[in-house]
Amino acid sequence: MRHREFRLSLLFLAFFISAAAEAETTSGETLAARRSFALTGALRADALAPLSDPLAQSAFLTQFSASAELPGSRTLPRLFFQVIGQGGGSISGHIGDAQGASNIEAPRGLRLYQAWAELERLEGRLSFLAGVHDLNSEFYATPSSALLLNSSFGVGPELAQTGWNGPSIFPTPAMALRARARFSPFELSLAAYDGNPGEWMRPGASGALLISEASLAEPLPGLLKVSLAGWSYTAAARAPESGHSGIYLLLENALIEEWSGFVRAGHSFGNGISDSAQLGARLGNFSFGGAWLAMESYELAIEATWRAQLSPNISIQPDLQWIVQPGGVADSSSAWLAGARFEAAL
pLDDT score for 6: 47
- Domain boundaries 3-27+37-345, corresponding CATH code: 2.40.160.10
Q: What CA–CA distance (Å, rounded) separates 224 from 216?
A: 9
Return the domain boundaries, the chain: 3-27+37-345
Residue 9 — left, alpha, or beta (φ > 0 → left; ψ -120 to 50 → alpha)?
A: alpha
Question: pLDDT of 208-236, one tens digit each?
Answer: 999 999 999 887 777 888 999 999 999 88
Write down the H helix ranges in 178-281: none
Q: State the Cα torsion 216-125-77-135 to the nearest 10°.
A: 10
Q: What CA–CA distance (Å, rounded) separates 29 from 61?
A: 45
Give this prediction's pTM. Answer: 0.88
Considering the chain, what is the average pLDDT of its residues? Answer: 88
Question: pLDDT of 124-146, one tens digit each?
Answer: 899 999 999 999 999 999 999 99
Close Cβ partners of 32 (under 8 Å, ≥ 6 residues apart):
none
pLDDT score for 332: 80
Q: What CA–CA distance (Å, rounded) separates 260 from 268?
A: 27
CA atoms within 13 A on the CB side of 342: 7
pLDDT score for 202: 57
CA 98 vs CA 49, 150, 187, 252, 299: distances in Å: 16, 11, 32, 25, 8
Q: What is the mean pLDDT of residues 165-177?
A: 93
Q: What is the mean pLDDT of residues 152-162?
A: 96
pLDDT score for 242: 84
Write down the H helix ranges in 162-233: none
Q: What CA–CA distance (Å, rounded) separates 317 from 148?
A: 10
Question: pLDDT of 87-118, one tens digit each?
Answer: 988 999 999 999 999 999 999 999 999 999 99
pLDDT score for 2: 44
